[in-house]
Each structure stands twice: as C-alpha cells, then as structure tokens.
Amino acid sequence: MTSTFRTLTVPLDGKDFPGGLPAFLVRDDVLCWTRREAGLAGFGEIARFTATGPDRFLEADIWWRHLVLEAEVADSVELPGTGPVAFGSFAFSKTSAHESRLIVPEIAVGVRDGQVWLTQLTFDDGPLTEDTARAALDRWLRSVAAPSAAPPGRTTAAADPAGDGTLGAVATKGGGAVVRPLPLAAGATLHTGSLSEEAWMAAVEAGVAEIRTGALEKLVLARDVVATIPSGVHAADVLRELAARYRECWTYGVDGLVGATPEMLIQVEGRTAQARVLAGTLDRRDAHGEDGLPMDYATRVLAGSEKQRHEHEIAIQSLTTQLAPFSEAMNAHDEPFILELPNVWHLASDVKAELAEIEGHVPTCLALINALHPTAAVCGTPTQVAGALIRKLEHLDRGPYAGPVGWLDAAGNGEWGIALRGAVIESPDTVRLYAGCGIVDGSQPEAELAETWAKFRPMLESLGISS
C-alpha cells in the first residue's frame, strides 16, 4: 500500500450502453447521480471523509483538495467528472448529529452527451491499466449477491446481467428507462414520524403566527413518515424507478440516502455555475376535474398567485444574494417558468453565473455550497431566524434531507442538488421519507399537509406503496 492516490480514466464505447447511466444501477450500494441518460455511478469505497457541525463544507473542501493535490491522474477523456471523483451528502443542519460525508469510489462510470467513460481509483501500487479498470467494473457488477429482488413487473437488474461476460451487455439489458405499472409492496405499512399530522399542522399554524409578528418572511417546515416493507427495501430498484419516472429530476443515491430532486443547488463547470431555484408547488391531482388544459390551470394557479410568487421571489433573492460575491456576471429569468413533474408543478427559475477569480482561484463547488446553503427554498428568510424556528417547531433531525447531495471532481467541477423528494434507508426493511413546504403569511395548514403528501409520492411509488 502506498499513499499515492492514482486514477485512470478510459473511454468506453457509447454504442455498447444505449440505456445510459441508469443501466448501471444494479447494486443496492451503488453511488449515483443521474438525470435522463447522463450521470455518474460509483462502486466500492477507497476513502471517506466525515464531519458534523458548521464547518462541514469547508472541512470537506480542504480534505478533498489535499487528497487530489498530489494525485497521479491519467485521463484521456477530460470531461467534468473524469479523473478523481467523490460522491457526497451533507446534513441540512449545523447542529445535526448526522455525519456529512464524501466517498471516493473504487470505480466510477460516467455518461455525458453520448460519451461513456470508466475511472479506476486506487491507493495501491499495483498496475493500473484499461484491463484492470474493466476487470474491476466487471467484478462489481458481477458480485451482486442476488438480483436486487425486483417483483415481477418492475424493471429488473440481474446478478449476471450480461450472461456472456461482456460489459456492453450489462448496460443493454439493465435498460433503466422502462416504465411499467408498479406492483404494490406486499404488507408495507406507513407510520407517522416525529410529529402526528395534527401536531405538524399546529406547527405550521405557529409558523404563520411568527411570520405575522414580522420576525421572518418565510419558513420551510418539514415532516417525516416511516415505511416498513417486509419484503425488504432495494435501493437499486428504487433508483431505477425514480430515474425512469422523474427524468427532469436528478436521481441520487449516497450511502442509503435515495431520491430524485428537482432542485439544483449549484452545478459548476469550469467558470460557469448554474442553479435551479424552486418554490411554489401545485399538486397535479388538483387539476383533475378542472376545465381547460392542465398546463393552463397550472399557469393560472401558480404564476397567477401572489402568495406563490412571493414565496418564489424570496427563494430567488436568497440564492442570488449569496452567489453574487463569487460572480462576475449573473443572469436569471425575469419570469419564473412552470416545471412539470409527474407529481407536481413548480414555479422554477434558472440562474447562471460566471464565477469570479478570488485570490487567483475560481471557487470550488464546496466553497459555493458553504455560502449558499441553506437557501430559502428549504430553510426560510432570514436564514438564522428560520433555522432557529425549524429546530423549535419540527421536532426532527432532518439528517441529510434538504442538505446538498452530489459529486465533485479534482478540477472543482461538480453537481450538487438539494436532497428533496427522498428518503433514508434506515434498515433492510425500513425507510424514512421527508417532505417540507414553504410557509408564508396566508399558508393554510391543511393545504400544506396535502402538499407534503404530493411530495412524498415519488418515493412512495418507487417503494411500491400506493398513495
């Protein structure tokens, strides 16, 4: 064993992988970040950083920069996400007991604009060649203990997906984009989490009362529910279902945290940073029975609502104000657009910034996250007041829910979503789901409760629980 960190990235033939990245989601311990056919998947673990507390982002940034500083990197692909990479998930709160983490995989597979690559990462001093990388990937894909027990009708993964020993067939047969009716998970039960529905609605009422005192403008209150699934929770099945159904979202899987988020906290590519800010939600089921086109209904109810626009404006303001000191130029849509997801519509705005050099360096994505998190989309405004009220009213350690989740590379590129519409797999048969709502003056507790159910739906469906 040497202490030298070495990586080798080689191209794979895109034609061999028509299913794209989701086809690699065949193991329950896969590290994953994917949208449509693109993304990154990681297998194994050669290094891990953990931290709690207010400095978790900066400590992780320092750890990662040290690790990659003297890395020996052979990379013939040279795209964001090639070379050294780590996957990460961070606690929402600086007071959380939950450990934030960066995980360096042994093998990473990436797909972007039809290009596919494979990276092997190691601290060993053995040979590092295209053959060792392909063999390592093959080993990870083949050592799936049992086909992740997908009930009939679900997209299925196989322990020996290729059957003929070729990597190409692995991806072809994995076929992540198939959407079929979901069978129900037999015997699944759903329990309230930290607060009963009544107690959570009382918390919303208390939040609205605080807003009316003028102490704050917006507050995001979340709650949890716990699902027990006797047949077991299979992360790979859940991830493939989410990736196939929520193609506009970023499907993530890091160490038992799984979900598909529509909200991009920050995506850094070279000197360009982008974010997708959401706030303002309408359950698509509310459009049933309404006259006219569903999208016209969504535009009328969301874009035409003072309350929703106010909530959205606060979220945009919070992001752009925090991003401004790191940017030379920034642009955001003047008008929010309607983002259509299978479960809800959102008011959405995309923000793009040209990053400034600060003391000769473009800020890394973790440095940006340190400044941006928590945004008003998941905390409130002003941040400190909202954060204190969340701790008082929610009676919940949010853990990684609503914290940043994503990946980064050695060049400082990365994609970090906000871990929404997700859950933590707490044991082989238990999952804790989280959802929250922006509360402003005029918020109705019953309506907010209904909104949490709409936001639980992606996870409930992927787990095979009817909703």
| Cis peptide upstream of residue 84 (ω within 30 degrees of 0) | no
Q: How far is the CB of 305 from ligand ISC (least distance, A)?
A: 11
Joined together, the tokens standing for residue 73 give 């990197």
Q: Closer CB to ligand ISC, residue 122 or residue 267?
A: 267
Q: How far is the CB of 250 from ligand ISC (least distance, A)?
A: 13
Q: How far is the CB of 421 from ligand ISC (least distance, A)?
A: 6
Catalytic residue among 59, 106, 210, 218: 218
Catalytic residue among 263, 311, 448, 461: 263
> Minimal CA–CA distance to 380: which of 447, 333, 311, 429?
311
Q: Closer CB to ligand ISC, residue 111 or residue 220?
A: 220
Residues that bind ligand ISC (CB under 6 A): 220, 222, 263, 278-281, 346, 377-378, 420-421, 435-438, 455
Q: Closer CB to ligand ISC, residue 363 or residue 458?
A: 458
Q: Is 218 a catalytic residue?
A: yes
Q: Closer CB to ligand ISC, residue 137 or residue 378?
A: 378
Q: Closer CB to ligand ISC, residue 66 or residue 285?
A: 285
Q: How far is CA 310 from CA 317, 358, 387, in A?
A: 11, 33, 20
Q: Closer CB to ligand ISC, residue 134 or residue 310?
A: 310
Q: Is 59 a catalytic residue?
A: no
Q: How far is the CB of 346 from ligand ISC (least distance, A)?
A: 6
Active site residues: 218, 263
